[in-house]
Amino acid sequence: MNENAKPILVIGGGIAGMTAAVDAAEVGYPVILVEKDAYLGGRVMRTYRYFPKMCPPTCGFEINTRRIKNNPRITVHTLATVEEISGTAGNFKARLKIRPRYVRGNHYLDDSITDSLTSERPNEFNMGLDKTKALYMPHDMAYPHTYVLDRETLTEDEAAKLTDLCPPGSINLFEQEEEILVKAGAVIIATGWRPYDADKLGNLGYGQFPNVVTNAMMERYAADSGPTQGKIVRPSDGQPPKNVAFVQCAGSRDENHLPYCSAVCCMGSLKQIRYVREKAPDAKITMFYIDIRTIGREEQFYYDLLDDENVRFVKGKVAQVNEGSSPGGVTLDVQDTMTRDNIHEEYDLVVLATGVVPNGFEGELPEDPGFDDYGFIENGSAEGIYAVGCAKRPCDVSRSTKDATAAALKAIQSVQEGA
């Protein structure tokens, strides 16, 4: 490598961004990794298990954070966004905005300090399904493993209390937002995805009935660190469900919402069916689908469930969700396209498989890298700028990491050419 090579700027610290960063840094290139949240890991860290191996995300995450921590070529900025990029390939300039954490990471804070507070805020790590105190650790495996203070939530009385309880210098209640300028030879956009807004799916009962939840919420219900400590229960009464429906293509493959297939929803729901079988073994499960889309060895994941007597698959798109006859129950109306029967059945819990929407990039770019009609980056004419993972198209973890390695190689080539 060229010892004077400019850094590679990686925007987004999810699984794709982390992979691109370590791949480039471990062959000798400086990397600046920018993440808008207070921690690395992105959406993957909010899942309970990966498919098809069904291992927890902490496995790969712990390895990547160790590689980042031990590599002096990687500079990490959390609570940060890239506001503007100017210049050309090999000679980019980026303006970063860094929000205050109010907590100094080199001081130890005891949990008793957090417990002494009463001010609370929605816990975005758990999809807002529970709350944290104003001073909080984002999650157990957070990297950097440092508390964050929500200054707007904290009352002035509790601000004074923190000043008395915390070690001197550990809290700066007057920390300000700052901007820094960095140079880069290439840019990798790994901004990831968010679930489609289920509030837009009025016919499917989300927001109207408490026992209609999304697939993203189900991941947090199943997780030990989730709002129910890993118990899958009905939100309305905290009881284990006896009859669960999984509704595929909730807003996907629909010209009124997302006309495209989100690629991962079928496998995600098949995985979550296994969660229910593990945690509520007596529950009956029905999956309503348009098509089952699995790839390669993932097909066996589906075939194994076909032999499960507690699991039923119905080919048909759910048209309407209404209130059921029992407390908390909801009814589904759907036509079985194989038998042409009209189905009207009641369920305890309904899980909507909402689709993948790109987070996009909200900063200014020197030129349009090629956004499609839905916000995905098509890697068009912007030389030296490369999109990866779900910033390009819906994809799973395996494809995102392979994509990230390829982008790291392209970024290295761009840096070398511009040196």
Domain contains 70: yes
| Model confidence pLDDT, tens digit, residues 324-342 | 999 999 999 999 999 999 9
Same domain flag for 387 and 291: no
**Residue 125 shares a structural domain with residue 252:** no
The predicted-structure confidence for 197-227, as pLDDT tens digits, reads as follows 999 999 999 999 999 999 999 999 999 999 9
CA atoms within 13 A on the CB side of 51: 24
The answer to whether residues 33 and 156 belong to one domain is no
Q: What is the pLDDT of residues 358-396, one digit of tens each?
A: 998 888 888 888 889 999 998 666 889 999 999 999 999
End position of a domain, from candidates 309, 333, 356: 356
94 belongs to a structural domain = yes
Per-residue confidence (pLDDT) for residue 419, from 0 to 100: 63
Task: Give the DSSP per-residue string, 82-149.
Answer: EEEEEEETTEEEEEEEE----B-TTS---HHHHHT---EEE-GGGTTSSEEESEE-S-TT-SS---EE
CATH code for the domain in which residue 28 is found: 3.50.50.60
Helix (H) or strand (E) holding 64: helix 58-69
* Residue 107 zone, left/alpha/beta (φ > 0; ψ -120 to 50; rest): beta
- pLDDT score, position 1: 61
Question: How many percent of the chain have pLDDT more than 90?
Answer: 84
Q: What tokens appear for 317 in the block?
A: 């798109």
Average pLDDT over residues 330-358: 96
Residue 380 has a pLDDT of 62
Residue 240 corresponds to which tokens in the numbers above?
């284990």
Q: Rounded to the nearest 5°, which phi and psi values hold at 272? A: -70, -25
Coil/strand/helix, residue 342: strand
Give a yes or no: residue 104 inside a domain. no
Per-residue pLDDT for 92 more than 80? yes
Cis, bond preceding 210 (omega within 30 deg of 0)? no
Q: Are residues 283 and 313 in the same domain?
A: yes
Do 78 and 185 belong together in one domain? yes
pLDDT at 296: 78
Same domain, 139 and 208: no
- The domain of 228 spans 197-356
Q: Per-residue confidence at 287, pLDDT binned at 50, 70, 90?
A: very high
Coil, strand or helix: which one is 8? Answer: strand
The residue among 53, 162, 27 whose CA lies nearest residue 104 is 162
Instruction: Kindly state whether residues 272 and 384 are assigned to the same domain.
Output: no
pLDDT mean over 146-154: 94
β-partners of residue 135 are 149
pLDDT at 360: 87
Q: Grade residue 418 by pLDDT with cuts at 50, 70 and 90.
A: low
- Based on the structure, what is the number of domains in the chain? 3
The answer to whether residue 3 is domain-embedded is no
Question: Exposure of 177 by Cβ count < 10 A (0-12 exposed, 13-18 middle, 19+ buried)?
Answer: exposed
